[in-house]
Amino acid sequence: MTHAFLLLVRRDLRIALRRRGDVLNVLVFFLVAASLFALGVGLAPELLRAMGAGVVWVAALLAAMLSLPRMFAVDLAEGTLEQMLIAPQPLGILVAAKIASHWLLTGLPLALVAPLIGLQYQLSADALCTLLAGLLIGTPVLSVLGAAGAALTLGARAAGVLLGLLLLPLYVPVLVFGAGAVLATLTGVNPAAQLALLGAFLAVSCVVGPPAACAALRIALD
């Protein structure tokens, strides 16, 4: 089973490396959106510092969502999705592989780039660390819940916008705790509590998300 998992992840990574544009799209959107917010709000340092956590997190959420419709749509078009459904391996393992590759291609790069954006918002070194840690824990949640959302909207009209409408409410706790952790660090409070809650939410998503995604995939391909 691990063999199938790794195989699928490697395959997705190889395909993505051939079409680098998709991955870069996400990062560029993230950079542009975050920068525009800074420009739009005016450049007072205190204001930027207060807003930075929230803006970076929201921009990361939106950027991650850009890539979600593609998670299953390409496989559906090529017929690989049906192969996944009738494969001897449990669908859960294969869905987990899709989630892992999505995170490696979207969430991880976003998390690594975010501290650079954080500098634009005058965040301190401590806050940047908290930002990085929070995003490393929070972006997998986006991929897990995103998989369920992408599966639900597979083949639906205006899937991209619909996906946003469905997922953004569910991301609220991630946003609240992720941004809250950075704000706590800025005021000198230990962000361990928020980060722990983020971790807890990740755990809950991992329990709820993959089964929902599997159910939704079966519904979509019946």
Partner 1 sequence: MIFNYAAPQAFYPVAGKMIPWFAWLAALLAIAGLTVGFFVAPTDATQGESYRIIFIHVPAAWMSVFLYLVMAGWAALGLVLNTRLSGMMASAIAPTGAIFTFLALWTGALWGKPTWGTYWVWDARLTSELILLFLYLGFIALKGAIADPQRADRAGAVLAIVGAVNVPIIYFSVVWWNTLHQGASISPMRSPTMVATMLTGMLLMALAAWMYSIAVTLARLRKIIRMREGDAAWVQMQRNSV
- Residue 139 or 205: which CB sits closer to partner 1? 205
For the chain, what is the radius of gyration of the CA atoms? 18
Residue numbers 45-104 binding partner 1 by CB under 8 A:
none
- Identify the residue among 41, 62, 162, 206 touching partner 1 (CB under 8 A): 162
In this structure, are residues 120 and 129 in contact, taking their beta carbons and an 8 Å threshold? no
Q: Which of 155, 150, 144 is nearest to 166 (CA)?
A: 150
Burial 122-157 (b: 16+ CB within 10 A, else e): bbeeebbbbbbbbbbbbbbbbbbbbbbbbbbbbeee
Minimum Å gap between C-beta 112 and partner 1 is: 26
Mark the segment that binds partner 1 (CB under 8 A) among 46-54, 64-72, 114-122, 162-170: 162-170
Whole-angstrom distance, CA of residue 213 vs CA of residue 127: 34
Whole-angstrom distance, CA of residue 19 vs CA of residue 219: 29
Minimum Å gap between C-beta 209 and partner 1 is: 8
State the sign of the Cα–Cα–Cα–Cα dihedral 161, 22, 77, 145: negative
Residue 122-161 contact track with partner 1, rule CB under 8 A, x = bound: -----------------------x--x---xx-xxxxx--
Minimum Å gap between C-beta 168 and partner 1 is: 7
**Angle between the N-to-C axes of helices 125-152 and 91-102, in degrees from 0 to 180, rounded to the nearest 10:** 140
Q: Which of 127, 144, 153 is nearest to 53 (CA)?
A: 127
- Residue 17 or 165: which CB sits closer to partner 1? 165
Mark the segment that binds partner 1 (CB under 8 A) among 34-42, 59-67, 97-105, 181-189: 181-189
Whole-angstrom distance, CA of residue 63 vs CA of residue 112: 14
Mark the segment that binds partner 1 (CB under 8 A) among 16-24, 37-45, 122-130, 177-185: 177-185
Q: Which residues are at the interface with partner 1 (CB under 8 A)?
A: 145, 148, 152-153, 155-159, 162, 165-166, 168-170, 172-173, 176-177, 180, 183-184, 189, 197, 201, 204, 208, 212, 215-216, 219-220, 222
